[in-house]
Structure formats: structure tokens, C-alpha cells
Structure 1
Amino acid sequence: MPKPMMYGCIFTFYCCCLALLAAAQVTDPSEVSALRDVRSSLDDPMKHLQNWSRGDPCVSNWPGVFCYDTVDLDGYLHVRDLHLLNMNLSGSLSPALGKLTLLQILDFMWNQISGEIPKEIGNIASLKLLLLNGNSLSGSLPDELGNLSNLTRLQFDENNISGPLPKSFANLSNLRHLHLNNNSISGQIPPELSNMSRLLHLLLDNNNLSGSLPREISYLPKLAILQLDNNNFDGSEIPATYGNLSTLSKLSLRNCSLVGQIPDLSRIQNLSYVDLSRNRLSGPIPSNKLSENATTINLSNNNLNGSIPSGFSDLPSLQKLSLANNTLTGSIPASLWQNITFIPNAKLTVDLQNNLLSTIAGQLNPPENVTLRLGGNPVCSNANVPNIAQFCISQTQGDEQLPNSTNSTCPVYSCPTDNNYEYVPVSPVPCFCAAPLRIGYRLKSPSVSYFPPYIDLFETYLTSSLKLERYQLSIDSFSWEVGPRLRMYLKIFPPVSNQLHYFNATEVQRIRRIYTSWDFPRTDLFGPYELLNFTLLGPYSSSVLPTQNSGISKGIIVAIVLAAVACAVSISALITFLIIRRSKGNQNSLSRKHLSSKISIKIEGVKAFTFRQMAQATNNFNSSSKVGQGGYGKVYKGILSDHAVVAIKRAEEGSLQGQREFLTEIKLLSRLHHRNLVSLVGYCDEEGEQMLVYEFMPNGTLRDWISGKTKEYLNFGMRLRIALGAAKGILYLHTEANPPVYHRDIKASNILLDSKLTAKVADFGLSRLAPLLDEEGAVPHHVSTIVKGTPGYLDPEYFLTHKLTDKSDVYSLGVVFLELLTGMQPISHGKNIVREVNMANQSGMMFSIIDSKMGSYPSECIEKFVTLALMSCDDKPDRRPSMLDVVRELESILRMMPETDALFSDTASMYSSKSFAESSSYASRERYPSSTVSGSDLISGVVPTISPR
């Protein structure tokens, strides 16, 4: 190309880029001005908002400012969320907030902001979350807030707001959560609030509300929590229509100066929590039985009379029944505690103090997890009731504690706690050290009184909502506060597969957004929550992670760059065209083929296929031929020209790991031959493609059969035969290969089954050769290597020391045995199969977790198989059996099985006269020539791991 033409193209290119940059879209100027006004009205001693004076909000990553990803029709970017949670801000809220007319989330929680709530916020029609709780705001609630028709959550609790509840709030037709508790709001609850047809939670407790309870509340069709404690509805009765609130889960009207009788609440099917204590209620307690979901019934400190109704018996979830300080008469039914089938970790407190109860109907023998308080009743003076005295003394409720899940066996100094790393308490990989996210969290109105029985359910709820595994969540501590509310501190750990040992910025932002956007699914049992803090320490500090913005600046930059590139491409098309013409002869060398050009593989006995042959065998890699996919690439079923059926594993394009595994498998499988190892038919290494061709295994993987994916089931005899076949294949690797091979990735999905369900070990991409002789002629019994493998199957000792041995494969196979026994996955919902089976075995409950799909079995055979599996999974390698011992024990169990000769006739005669080692060696030498794999021949696929130190 002539130089003048080239210079002209370059000049035009730069002009185009400059023009694009100059025309780049920015935030709406009115919103920029509004944000600056907001900043100027706030005091920011920690300087969290110091960058708000520089650049553009949406392009320059202003802390707490999140923008829409696309430019609006007006040509500008717009602010979507404003998250200024817990930044130690004071000052006041600027009326300029009303200019952020496309805002969806306005969050100033847990600061020290004072002054009044600007009425201009009512102009933000798009607002969905308005979160101002935990400040020092005063004045009355603006009527203009009733214009926010899209609002779903309004939280002003824990401020100093006074004045009445605006009737205009009745227009908040989409509101689900109205939290105004702990203020000084006064006057009547407007009956018009019944128009909020989607309202779920109404929290107005701890205010100065008065008047009567509006019966119109019973018209709210979805109300789940009604909490009005500590107001002054002096002389008001509880409307009988409240018994029609069919969706109610919690009714809390404690200390409200209420009179009259308790309405019939038995028709509310999901009612879990009733607190009507510290009122002036009178008359008998309704006799109809409450919901079986009831956890808490507190009717104490009233003027109730009559007897204790039988409806309080047989409530399986009951944790607290308090009828203290009334004038109840008659007998105390022992059925209150005798008929309950307690859930695990459950406790029940029955407080009947200071009534007129005179006798016990039944045996006074409550179980240990029941606290019974009878002091101040005539029954305490009844000498005919044995052991009555112990229930008539002052008692206090024991403290709630978390189960101890700390792994005390981990090395004390191996986890760098100075940088906020720590061991994951229930990690499936022992002693996994990582940096957690630390979150302050509070349940504002839970429907339980005692938390430990619900910890597992709560952890499952949180982790499933966050799309995490159970082991990634740890409840560091929890405590009850006035309300009652439940404050807790959570730690969220990265997965064990995360080699960085901490979350990346994208994942931190994803988790934080779920919390700050209230994207958790609704749960009435745990009620609404509030985020107290989201602390970023150690690797999450601002010096390591980018700011918490939504990444819009990156999107804009990418858009600009793409536009510039498009401009450049269009202008330089001539240059590209001319270069292509000149270098057309060399173009093919720049394709994917450069990857395979570095590889020269000529191995005797292994066929080299062409790409065309592979394409023909798979109908051009049609999706209908695909039978699986792994980290290496996709697997296809292929039919060769000689009608042989094969499995073709095709590496992902440009995969360095795939290239290494490709070479490793060829080097190994071309030399290793055993009936329980998958056979390598050939390979393809041309046109930049790397494919391995194996014998086809029509019955798929063992994991498919265990999980039920095949819709057919393996009986116990079949499972034993598969276990033995896999063990034989691995024994061959450990003892017959020269040098021996450590597989390093034994798992159920790497054990394949042929047409006769013969087990064959596959996937040698991570395998390592056993160590060779050292300088003194000794053979080291381990290989020092970076940890590779699959979580749940990893040998804990290998994980901690990086020393790979033959016992590492024994551990992994032991996990497979446990899968065969139970049908469980190695890791599921934070539970580790080894720990679960150990616990079941130690408690004598082993047979309760045996997979029911395998039909009948001799119990003595199961017991021996369980013992073998658990020995194989022992934490200490020297306590595990060798693979030869595993094989011999499996053969012994098989000989105990009925009809063993019929099922295993192909092996029974062989082992009747020879030891396994002899017969296995004989068989392999007879069928296949001996072979040697040198250390220099084996290319190991290892990738450096970033240590948390």
C-alpha cells in the first residue's frame, strides 16, 4: 500500500475515535446536579463520597451510585439505585433527591441523618424500595409519599418520626412491606390502609398509636405479619374479623391496652406466632385448636379465666406456651408436653406461673427439653403431687447456642488470619482456608421463639437464595434483641473450587445486590430481614476490589471501544484486504492449526484419524451425537467406516489444559491395557483439532446409574461387581503399570459401564506417574504436586500436604463405595458424604441411609462393605487399606453373597486357586505385551494455584 494512503487511513481512524469519545453519553445533567446537592447536604467524616466531586456519576464509578446499563431515549444515562448503607453519614436529606426521577432504590439505612423526609421524594414515580431506617429523621410523614404507586418496600423504622399515618398511603397499591416501627407516630391507624391489597407485613410496633384497632385490616387479603406491640389502643377490642385473616402467620399485639375477649383464631391455617400478652383481655381462652404450625402462644399478663383448653395439646412445633399471670383454674393437662413429637434440637417452655391451677391431669414427668414453670399456683402446695417442688421454683431459660462446627484438627498457624482468612467450618475439603464476606443481618419479626431447631432450614433458605452451597454459609453468632428480633452475624465463604480463596469483585457485587435489593424469596417463618452491614475486609478491601458500582463505566467504555473498532475496521478494510491478498498463502498457518503443529505424535498401535473421518463418524458433530461434556470438552458417539462404535472426546478450542490432558491420555492409554480400563482406539490431531477416540461404553457412567438418570437401578450384587471392577482397574495402575500410575480423579462419573455393566476406569487427564528411584536407590512413596481433582473425592491429606500417593486413589474410591451404598452425592447442600455416613454408622442408624433402590441385600455383606468404604476414607492414609486389600475384601464379600458363582462365573474360578495379584498379573501378561511409561513421556496437566498466604 502506498504510504500516503496508509497515513490517510491512520489519521481518519484517530479522528473517528476522538469524535466517538467526545460524543460519549453521560449522566443526565439534572441528575448530576441533584447528586451534588445530595452530597453537599450530608456530612461525610469517613470520606466515602469524596469521589462525588469528580467526573461523571455513571461513568466514573461514584460510590453507591448504580446506573441503568443503556442510554435512555433522551440520549443520557440515568441513576437506577442509590446505596449509601452504613456509611456513617450525618446531615440531612436534600430535596434534590426528587430530581432522580428514574430511581428504583433509595437506600440510606443505618446512618445518622437527621431532619425531615423531603416531600420531593414523592416525585420519584419509578421508586420501588425506599429505605431510610436506622437514622435520626424527625418530623411527620409527607403525604406526597402516597404518590409512589410502584413502591414495594417502605422502611422508616428506628427514627424519630412523629405525626399521623397519612391516609394517602392507601394509594400505595403495590406495597408489600410497611415498616414504621420504633418511631413516635401517633393517632389512629387509617382504615383506608385496607386498600393496600398486596401488603404482606405491617410493622407499626413501638409508636404512640391510639384509637381503636380498625376492623378493616381484616380485608387485607395477603397480610402475613401484623405487629402492633407497645401502642396505646386504650379500651379497644380485637375485632373478631381478625380471625378471617387466612394468610396470617404472626399476630403480635403485646402491651396495647386491649380489652375484651380473644377472638377465635383457629381458622388461620398458617398461624405460627400469637402474642397478646400484657393487655387487659378477659374471659376464657377459645377452646378451638390453633394451627399445627404454632411455635409461640403468649397470653400472659391478662385477666383470662377458665381452664386451659385441650387445643394447646399436640402442637408439634410449639416452643413457647405462656399463660402466666392470669386467673386460670382447674387442672394442668400433662398432654401439653406428653403428646408432642419434638423436631430435632427442639425445646418447649410452658409457663403457667401465678394462676389458680390446683391439680395435674396426668403424670408430672416432662422430658428434659421441656421447661415447666408452675410457681404461684395452688398446685405447688399439693403434697400429693410427687416432685412438684422442682417446677415451682424460679427458673430461667437456657441460652441458645450454635452447634459447634469448628474443625479443631486443622493446623493452627496454616491459615493467615491476619489477612482475614479462616478455615471454612464445614468445608467438604478439610481445612479449606478462605476469606469470608462478613454480613450483619437481623430478622425483624421471626415467627419462632427458639432458633436452633430452624438453623438448618434457615441456612438452606439463605444459600439456595444466594445460589451457594450449604457449606459456604456460617452463622458466626446470633442473639435475641428487644422486639423480639434476632440479630446474627454471617460469614459467606467462596467455594472450595475457588483457587483464589476469595470471591472476585463480580461475585461480591452479585451477593451484595441480592441483600440490598431484597431479592430473597418470601418466608413468613423467618419474616422480614434487614441488612445491618456488609463488611469488606482483607482481600475485599477497597485497595483490592473496585468500588461497588454496577460496572456501567465498563459497559460504556466497551461500547465506545467497540464503536471505535467498528470505525477502524470500516476505514482499514482496504489495508486488511491488501494484506490478506499478499499473505493468502500463509493464512492457513495462522489458524487453529498452529496449536497442533507443535505436536508430533506417532505411537505404534494407536491409530491416527483425520478430522474428516471424525466429522463423518459424528454426522459433522451433530448435537444428536453428543453424549456428554466435561472440563476437557464434548463427547460424541461416533460410527467409524468399519462400523465400529466409538466415543470421541473433542477438546475445546484453544484449551491449554485440554492440550495437556490430550497428551497425557495418549501417552498413558497407549501403554496401559486392562479389562477394567477404558481402551484408547486412536486420536485425531489435525486442523487445530484434538480428539481422543475410545471404545464406546453404552451404559454411560456409574454416576448416571446411582442418580437414577438411567431410570433403571442396580441391585446390591451389581454394585459390588462394579466396585470390584473399578478397584481392579486401579490396582493395575498401582502395581502392574511400569512405572505405576496415580489416577488422581477417581469419581463415579469417571467409572464407565459397558454393555455387560463391566466397570472401566476412564479419564486419565490428571494422572501422574508414581515417583522413580531417588539418588540413593529408594522409591519415594509420594509425588509432590499441586492439588487437582474433584471436591468431595479429594484425599484430605493430599489436599493439606500436596503429597499424592496410591492411598489418595483409595480415598476417592472409598467415596465412590459410599455413593454405591447410599445413593447420595459426595457433597450435597453443604453435607459431606463421608461425615454423614460416619455419623450414621456410629449412631447405629447406618441401615436408615442405605439406598432403597438397590432392593434386598444380606445385612452382613452391607456391614462389611460399609466398613471397607469407611476405612478407605479414613483421614489418615496409613490407616487406609491398600488397593490390593480393597480388592481382596470385595472378593470376600462377593463370596458371601447368594448366587455369587452365577453372577461372577467369569472370575470365581480364577480366584479359587490363585491370589488376586498372581491372577491379575497373569491375565494382563497373557492378553497384552508389557509396556513402560517413562517419566519424560508423561506430560502432566498442572495449573498453578494461587495460595491464600
Structure 2
Amino acid sequence: MMGFKFKSSGYVFAVAVYWLLMISVAKVTDPAEVSALLAVKGNLVDPMHHLDNWNKGDPCTSNWTGVICVHKSNVDKFWHVQEIQLLNMNLSGRLAPELGQFPHLKILDFMWNNLTGSIPKEIGNISSLVLLLLNGNRLTGSLPVELGYLTNLDRFQIDQNEISGTIPISFSNLENIKHIHFNNNSLTGQIPAELSNLSTLMHFQLDNNHFNGEIPSSYGNISELMKLSLRNCSLQGVLPDLSRIPNLSYIDLSKNRLTGSIPSNKLSNSMTTIDLSDNLLNGSIPESLSNLPFLQKLSLENNHLTGSISAHLWQNKSFNATSKLLLDFRNNSLSTVIGDLNPPVNASLRLHGNPICRNSSIQNKDQFCDREFEDFIRSISNNSTECPMQSCPIDNYFEYVPRSPTPCFCASPLRIDYRLKSPSFSYFPPYEDQFEVYVTSSLDLDFYQLKIDSITWERGPRLRMSLKLFPKVGTERSGIFSTSDVLRIRGTFTTWVFPGSHLFGPYELLDFTLVGPYAHLNAETPRKGIRRGVLITIVAVAVVCAILVSSILTVVIKKGQERYKHTLSRKALRGYGKVYKGKLWDNRTVAIKRAEEGSLQGEKEFLTEIEILSRLHHRNLVSLVGYCDEEQEQMLVYEFMPRGTLSDWLKAKSGESLSFRMRLQVALDSAKGILYLHTEANPPIFHRDIKSSNILLDSKFVAKVADFGLSRLAPSLDDNGAGPNYVSTLVRGTPGYLDPEYLLTHKLTDKSDVYSLGVVLLEILTGMRPISHGKNIVREVKIAHQEGIMFSIIDNKMGSYPSEWVEKFVSLALRCCNDKPEKRPSMSDVVHELEHILEKIPEMGVDFSEPESSSFVKTSSSFNSSSIVPGSDINSGGDSIFLPR
């Protein structure tokens, strides 16, 4: 068999060709910087090693796209690289250490590519760096301590990666930092208390990581902080007192394990959003929360709060036409309301799951106990116009300017797709006017020249916008921007020169569309005084390269057509064969799934697995390392999971079995992985094949969900967040785990995955197979539970267990397996309940570095005996080992 290679992008060859077309033979003015940049580009996009050609090029005089240079001084003519902006270019490979050789670099932007490997510590040498933007890649490894030397850094974004390890204490030296976005990674350890020394920090976002310990109380001293978001970070301890922060407007500490009461001191008057849901908080709701004039959202659901609800929460707020207030108190122990239960229509109050809903003496409670969740997100409606249905020039994309001082003025707008990355509010209309002033003043435009065409809240939360910019009335070419204005506006968006707004937060330019009268500008890039001779050389080289590229593409296309015909001529693949253990060139151990003719999974599933796993990054999902699709071979290469499948452990194939506590932890890990698919993936994903053999265990018995070949993307919602909650599809999956409602209706929902996980939970408890000898596990457990003989079918291989919490575990599993989807818990509820049960089980002193652990039960000896942990070289398939050539 031919040796395989990994592909992380279908555009690698095209990008390499693109860079070849940008080469000239201009004089190299700063060899160190040019050499560094060539190394960077070679490392990122060049699979064919054309560095000899690139050595002839100077990025500052060859106008390499995304590389911006400035004069060293007003005296000499030397250029220096000041900005590298290669966002959203489908780049793959690793960041090169040579990046540290750019002493004048201010912006380093590789957002939304497919970069892998670790962040080079050499970046810490760039003392001039202001923006470090690496979010939306697949970077791994730990955060280099050296990045704490970047004392001029203003914005630090590494979110949406796979960074692990702790946050270095050296980051407390980032004395000018305003924005830290480390969310959606795999960071661990404690959040450093020393970061409270960052006196300029305004946005601090660490959502969806795996920290432990408490939120440092010293964070209440970060004087400039406006947004603190630590959602789903496994944090414990009490809430810090944040009342001393004068401009704090957004707090999200939800989905942690925080305890104690809510501090009673009054928060900042700027507060718009407080989300403390899904914790273990107790005590009452402080009266001080009633005195926040701009509050939009107060989420306290799924806690242990007691006492009363004060009507001052809505009575002390002045509502106007655009005001909204969401008060979500579901699933607590709140018993009464002080004052009249009559909030205005602008306020959404949710009380389901509280004793107050059973109190017959309280009027109007039913509408707040049973009402469907009010849609809190609305798109801005298009401005209507009373202009007659007359002709705006269709060929140039003209349309009426909605707020033009000259009635029915036609113009051709610039179209911009724009996203607020971390706004400090939850509801946009009250801030619409302020935002329009912010944008138009930054672009030196009049107020009427901006139209917000649509808005959409995305997960994060982030606010996506479609903007239109219209030319001024009475311009020389009526209704069309001049070329200089277009380039000026585009330059303002693309070079991050908008003034900082800590209310709206950092932004992302997603698209700057040039159509109609502006289409000819798509190919233009600003030139920095290139000499005519250099320009001629560029054209000549480009022509030669174009001829060469044309020839290469002809060969590639012909070869691709032949391969396609060959593929059609052979049988379609219908599944996978064996799984092999292999090693990569860097000695990393991997698992390799190799397809065979006549197996059960086909080409579509192969591509689905690649497409989905390439953009999912979570501690409890198996990572895709690479894939092979050539020479009649199809392989998927994953991180190696040495402890094998949950199914094997439940069968006790190794002679060892998991204790009840370890089984609980495996269940929780699995639920967290599925919860990420349902709520954090964008768009959300329905797995469709949750089963114990698709739950794998790493060396420390951390469970990870695998096998996404049958997965489906959740349906898209409209701008108002409305739409179907299911996907109509053929029934696929594994008998015994399939949602009966899905079998009947062919409607796949997130509750279908909940049902399948419920079956896995029953397997974990009983050791039974889902279907065996005509018996169905769900039916058998239901009967045993109803007849009070549940403990007679508990798996005796897991040793001793506390009966009270096993009973709660059984109850949760059976609710997941309810025939009616609407009666099943959400995956968020499953995670919350499993966490609660796990907290009540005493620690077993597990240390995976030791050969013995009381979390194992030896199946061949007495009921409670501990034993030697078996070896970790579990192979899920054949004995062959693939080694790199």
C-alpha cells in the first residue's frame, strides 16, 4: 500500500499558486524580515517547497496580500513589515518561530484558518505587538510564558482552538491589555489571581474551558472591567463581590459549580446582563438587583434559591418602546412574590419549577409558570418607504436610501458583513442609535448613510450584522462612491483602525462585498510607489507563472477526472474495516480506521466525519488528526484512546471493571461532549449514533464521544430564532439505542441523542446489552424499577455503591428513555443532574499514575476488592501498526 498523507485543506495547492503570482524580483530591503516572512509562508502554505522563488521577493514592494509595510523613518526608504493579516484564507500548517523576527510588527492576524501545532514562544519577542489574533484555528499545546512580555498588547484572542495547560502568571505583565478572549479551549488549572493586576482589562472571556478552583476574590478590583464571562469552566467556590467595578455591564458565570449566596452589594448602574444559571447557589435574591436601570437579562435558573421574588425587579425599571427585561428563575425553591405579580409586557418572567407555581393564593402565576419561552432576539425590520415603484438602475444594484435628506434618492451601497465579537449587552435595539453614531463617525459619514440591514445573535454570544453604506447625496457621480472613498472605507475596516468601543467590543469583518459599480475594485490593492521597472517585472513573472499554472492545472484536472471515473467504476464503499494502531513521524500514537470494500459505511459518511470533526474541539470529543483519500484508500486518523471503549469495560474483557464513581464520571464526560454538540457547535449537531462502543476512554479514563459518520447538522433558524427543531431523515443508527419517536416519524432531534444516552446510562448501571435474547434493556429496567427490585439487576462487577444515588441515576436514565421526547430532559439538564450526583459520591482517591486504585473492581475475586490497573495498550482492531515512511 502507498504511504498516506494528511490533508487539512482542499485549497492548499491553490493558495500556494496564489502566492507564486504575487512574486517580483524587487530589491530586498531588509533581509532579516523578508527571510522570516518567507519562512512563515513556506511553513503555512507551501507543500511543494518553492522557497527558492520566494527568496526573490520583497513583501513590501511586491504587495503581498495581507502584508502591510511602513517606512522605517522619514529619511530613508526602507520598509518594515508592520501588519500580517491573513485571516480566513484557509491556510494550514504551523506558525513559524521566525515570526519573532519582526521587531516592528503591530498586528498579527491569522483568524479563522486551519492552523495546527503550538503557538511559537518567539512571538513574545515582538515587543511592538498590539493585536495578537489567532482565534478560530486548531492550535494545540500550552500558552508560552514568553507572551507575557508583550507589554504593548491591546487585544489577545486565541478562542476556538485546542489550547491546553494553565494560564501563565506572566500574563499579569500585560499592562496595556484590554481584551482577553481565551474561550472554547481546553485550559486547565486555576485562574491566576495575579490577573487582577491588569488595570486596563475591559473584556475577560474564558468560557468553555476546564479550570478548577475558585474565581479569585481579587477580580473585584479590576477597575476597568466591563465584561466578565466564565461560563462552563468547572469553577467552584463562592461568587466574588464585583460591586466595586464602576462600569461593569455583563456577567456570565453560568454552568459552573458555584455555591453560597449572591452578594447583596449593589452592582454598577451600567449592568445589562447577569447570568448565574446552572450553579449550586442558595439563599435569596438580593434586593440590590432591583436597582439596575439598564438591566436586560437576569438568569438565575437551575439553582437552589429560596425565599421571595420582589416586584421591584420590574417596578423600579423605566420601560420605553425598545426596552426588554428577561427574568428567568426556573427550577429553584422560590415560594412567593412581594408585591403584585403584574410585570409589563416588556418583561419576560419565567417561574416554572418553583413552589410559587403551586401556591393557589398568588394571582396571575399561571401565565409565568406555563408560558413558552419568549423570543428575546428579533431582527431589525427593513425601513419602509413611500417612494413610488420607479426605476432605480438595476444593473448597478441601486436602491432607495432609507433616511436620505432628499426623498427617494437612489444609490448603490457598499455591502458589509460584520460581527460584534463580544458585545456588553443581550438586546440590541436600545443601543442601535449609539451604534450607528459609532460607525458613521468612525468612517466620517453622515448618519443617514448607514443602514443596518439585519442582525442575528450567534452563539458566544456574538452579534452578526449586515450593513449597507450609501454615498452622500449630491456627490459628483450621484449615487456612487468614488474609488478613493471605497478604498478609504475598506481600509478602515480591514486595518483595525476603528476607535475602541468597550460597549460594542471587538469586531470581525466577515465580508466586504464589491458588486455593481464597485466590482472592478475587487482586484485592486493599494500600491506603495512601485517603480515602473518593478511593475513590468511583476507582470512578466505573473504571465510566466500563469502559463505554468495553467499547464499544471490541466494535468491536475485531467488526473482528477480519471480518478473520478475510476472511483465510479468500482463498488461504493459501505463502511469501515479494521482499526489499527499507528505512529506518526513525531512518535505520536494514533488510531487509523481503514475502509474496506463491501463494508457497511459509505463515501458520504467518510466525508461527513471529516467535515464535522474538523471544526469540533472539545475535551470530550475524539479529535480527528488527519485523513487519507487516495490510491483507492480511505482512512481516518484519530487521537489514540488507549483504554478502549466503554462497551469493552462494561463487559470486563480485561478482567477489571469500573467502580460506580468512575462510571458516573464516564457518563458525565459523555453528556458534556454531546451537550457541546447541541449547544456550542455552530451550527448545532445531532450525533445520531450514541452507544457504548462509540464512547472511548483515554489513558486517564476521560470519556470522549466518537464516530460522527451518521451525524446531521441541526436545522437553520431564521433571524427571529424560529424554525423546526428536527431534521427529517432516513432512520440510521444502532438497534436498541434508537429513539422510538424517530423510528416512527423520521424526525431527528436533540432529544433523540438524549434517548440514546439514556440507554448507555442503563448499560453503565446494569452491564446488560441494549438488546439481548429478545429482551430490551429499557423495558427490563422499567419493570424492575416499578416492581421495586431494581437493585437485583445492578451490575455486581462495579463493587459497592450508595443506593440513594444509584436510585437517582436510574431515575435520570429512565427519564432520558421516555417514549415522548417532550418528557425527556435536555442534555443540559442531564449534565447538571450527573454533576450533582457525582458531587455527593465520596472521592475514591483515584490517581492514575499509581498501579492500584479503589476505582477498579477485579471481576474474578471478591465483591469489593481493588486490583492492579491493566496495561493501556488496548487495540480496537487488528494487530498491524502503520509507521510513517
Q: TM-score band (shorter)? A: 0.5 to 0.7
Cα distance change on mapping 1:266 and 1:77 into 2, 3 Å: same
Structure 1 residues 70, 502: closer, same or farther in 2, change over 3 A?
A: farther
Given the alignment of the two structures, is residue 157 of structure 1 paired with residue 135 of structure 2, yes or no?
yes
Work out the CA distance in 2 between the residues paired with 1:54 and 1:417: 46
| Contact 2:380 2:452 (8 Å CA) reproduced | no
1:273 pairs with one of 250, 257, 260: 250
1:139 to 117, 133, 145: 117
Q: Which has the larger radius of gyration?
A: 1
Structure 2 residue 541 is the aligned partner of structure 1 residue 540: no
The within-5 A match list for 1:646-661 is none
Q: Structure 1 residue 406 and structure 2 residue 375: aligned?
A: no
Determine the C-alpha separation between the residues in 2 that align with 1:445 and 1:280: 24
Partner of 1:481: 458
Question: Does the 8 Å CA contact 2:225/2:247 hold for their aligned counterparts?
Answer: yes
- Contact between 1:220 and 1:245, CA under 8 Å: does it hold in 2? yes
State whether residues 67 and 85 of structure 2, in contact with CA within 8 Å, keep that contact through their aligned partners in structure 1.
no
Tell me if structure 1 keeps the 8 A contact 2:209–2:233.
Answer: yes
The answer for the alignment partner of 1:232 in structure 2 is 210
Q: Say whether residues 1:129 and 2:107 are aligned partners.
A: yes
Q: Is contact 2:169-2:194 (8 Å) kept? A: yes
User: How much does 1:432 deviate?
Assistant: 1.6
Q: TM-score, normalised by structure 2?
A: 0.54
Report the AA paired with residue 508 of structure 1.
Answer: V
Q: In structure 1, what is the equivalent of residue 480 of structure 2? A: 502
1:198 to 143, 165, 176: 176
Cα distance in 2 between the residues matched to 1:196 and 1:217: 9
Corresponding position: 1:213 with 2:191 = yes
- What is the CA deviation profile of residues 728-765 of structure 1, one whole-angstrom value per residue up to 9, with x for unaligned ones? xxxxxxxxxxxxxxxxxxxxxxxxxxxxxxxxxxxxxx
Q: CA deviation at 1:290?
A: 0.7
1:261 alignment counterpart: 238
Residue 57 of structure 1: how far off its partner (Å): 6.3
Structure 1 Cα separation of the partners of residues 379 and 359 of structure 2: 39
Unaligned residue ranges in structure 1 (runs of 5+): 1-23, 46-50, 79-101, 559-949
Letter of the structure 2 residue corresponding to residue 529 of structure 1: Y
Q: Distance between the aligned counterparts of 2:445 and 2:429, measured in 1? A: 21
Query: 2:429 is aligned with what amino acid?
Result: P
Give the corresponding residue for 2:609. none
Residue-by-residue CA offset, 1:71-90 (whole Å, 9 max, x unaligned): 9866x552xxxxxxxxxxxx
Change (3 A) 1:44 1:308: same
Query: Pick from 429, 447, 451: which aligns with 2:406?
Result: 429
SS in 1 for 2:342: coil
The structure-2 alpha-carbon separation of the partners of 1:352 and 1:62, relative to structure 1 and needing over 3 Å to count, comes to closer
Q: 1:315 aligns with which of 262, 285, 292?
A: 292
CA deviations on 1:425-484 (whole Å, 9 max, x unpaired) are 211112221121111211111110111111111111111111111111111111111111
Aligned mates of 1:42, 1:212 — CA distance in 2: 33
> Separation in 1 of the partners of 2:111 and 2:221?
31
Superposition pairs of residues 689-728 of structure 1, within 5 angstroms: none
Secondary structure, counterpart of 1:487 in structure 2: strand
SS at match of 1:508: helix
1:119 lines up with 2:120 in the alignment: no
| Contact residue 69 and residue 555 of structure 1 kept, 8 A | no
Return the offset for 1:114.
Answer: 1.0
Q: Residue 28 in 1 paired to residue 5 in 2?
A: no
Aligned partner (choices 144, 156, 173) of residue 178 of structure 1: 156
> Any idea what the Cα deviations from partners look like across 1:804-843, whole Å, max 9, x if unmatched?
xxxxxxxxxxxxxxxxxxxxxxxxxxxxxxxxxxxxxxxx
How many residues are aligned here? 504
Partner of 2:180, secondary structure, is strand
Cα distance change, pair 27–472 in 1 and its aligned pair in 2 (3 A): farther
Shift of 1:487: 1.1
Is 2:298 the counterpart of 1:297? no
Q: Is the 8 A contact 2:229 2:251 kept in 1?
A: yes
Tell me the CA shift for residue 112 of structure 1: 1.1
Contact conserved, 2:67 with 2:84, CA < 8 A, in 1? no
User: How far, CA to CA, are the matches of 1:222 and 1:385 in structure 2?
Assistant: 48
Does the CA-based 8 Å contact 1:321-1:349 persist in structure 2?
A: yes
Shift of 1:537: 1.4
Give the drift of 1:328: 0.7
| 1:65 and 1:549 in contact (8 A); partners too | no
CA shift in 2, pair 1:38/1:214, >3 Å: closer
Give the equivalent residue in structure 2 for 1:522.
500
Asked whether the 8 Å contact 1:296–1:321 carries over to 2, the reply is: yes
User: Which residue of 277, 292, 306 corresponds with 1:329?
Assistant: 306
- Which consecutive unaligned segments of at least 5 residues does structure 2 have? 1-24, 48-52, 536-885
Shift of 1:296: 0.2
- Shift of residue 329, structure 1, vs aligned partner: 0.8
SS in 2 for 1:461: helix
| Equivalent in 425, 434, 448 of residue 457 of structure 1 | 434
Question: 2:108, 2:131 within 8 Å by CA — same for their partners in 1?
Answer: yes
**Code of the aligned partner of 1:131:** D
Report what 2:882 is aligned to. Answer: none
Q: In the superposition, relative to structure 1, how do residues 431 and 552 fare at CA in structure 2: closer, same or farther (>3 Å)?
A: farther
Matched to 1:127, the amino acid is L
Partner residue in 2 for 1:920: none
Residue in structure 1 matched with residue 82 of structure 2 by the alignment: 104
- Is the 8 Å Cα contact of residues 494 and 509 (structure 2) preserved in structure 1? yes
Q: 1:412 to 1:118 in 2, by over 3 A?
A: farther
The C-alpha deviation readout for 1:118-169, integer Å capped at 9, x for no partner, is 1101110100011011001010111100001000110101110111110001
Q: Go from structure 1 to structure 2 and tell me whether the alpha carbon gap of 1:465 and 1:557 turns closer, same or farther (over 3 Å shift).
A: farther
User: What is the rounded CA distance, in whole Å, between the counterparts of 1:43 and 1:228 in structure 2?
Assistant: 30
Aligned mates of 2:42, 2:190 — CA distance in 1 = 44
Contact preservation (8 Å) 2:66, 2:86: no
Say if 1:61 and 1:315 are closer, same or farther in 2 by CA, change over 3 A.
same
- For residues 85 and 137 of structure 2, the distance between their equivalents in structure 1, rounded to whole angstroms, comes to 14
Give the counterpart letter for 2:314 in structure 1: W
Offset of residue 557 of structure 1: 11
1:401 is displaced (CA, Å) by 3.4
SS at match of 1:193: helix
- What RMSD over aligned residues (CA atoms) do the two structures have, in Å? 2.9
Letter in 2 for 1:348: L
Whichever residue aligns with residue 209 of structure 2, its letter is N
Q: Deviations over 1:684-726 (max 9, x none)?
A: xxxxxxxxxxxxxxxxxxxxxxxxxxxxxxxxxxxxxxxxxxx
3-state secondary structure, aligned to 1:305 = coil
Residue identity opposite 1:183 in structure 2: N
In the superposition, relative to structure 1, how do residues 34 and 502 fare at CA in structure 2: closer, same or farther (>3 Å)? farther
- Is 1:419 paired with 2:399? no
Q: Deviations over 1:488-512 (max 9, x none)?
A: 1111111112232222222122112
Q: Deviations over 1:174-217 (max 9, x none)?
A: 00111011111111111110011111111111110111111001
Structure 1 residue 63: Cα displacement:
4.8
Equivalent pair of 1:27/1:77 in contact (CA under 8 Å): no
How many angstroms apart in 2 are the aligned matches of 1:508 and 1:269?
40
Q: In structure 2, do the counterparts of structure 1 residues 436 and 221 end up closer, same or farther at CA, with 3 Å as the change threshold?
A: same
Could you say which residue in structure 1 is the equivalent of 2:445? 468
Within 2, Cα distance between the matches of 1:28 and 1:117? Answer: 24
- The code of the aligned residue for 1:128 comes to K
Q: Secondary structure at the match of 1:266?
A: coil
Distance in 2 separating the partners of 1:419 and 1:55 = 38
Using the TM superposition, give the Cα deviation of residue 248 of structure 1 relative to its aligned residue in structure 2, in angstroms: 0.5
2 CA distance for matches of 1:425 and 1:44? 48
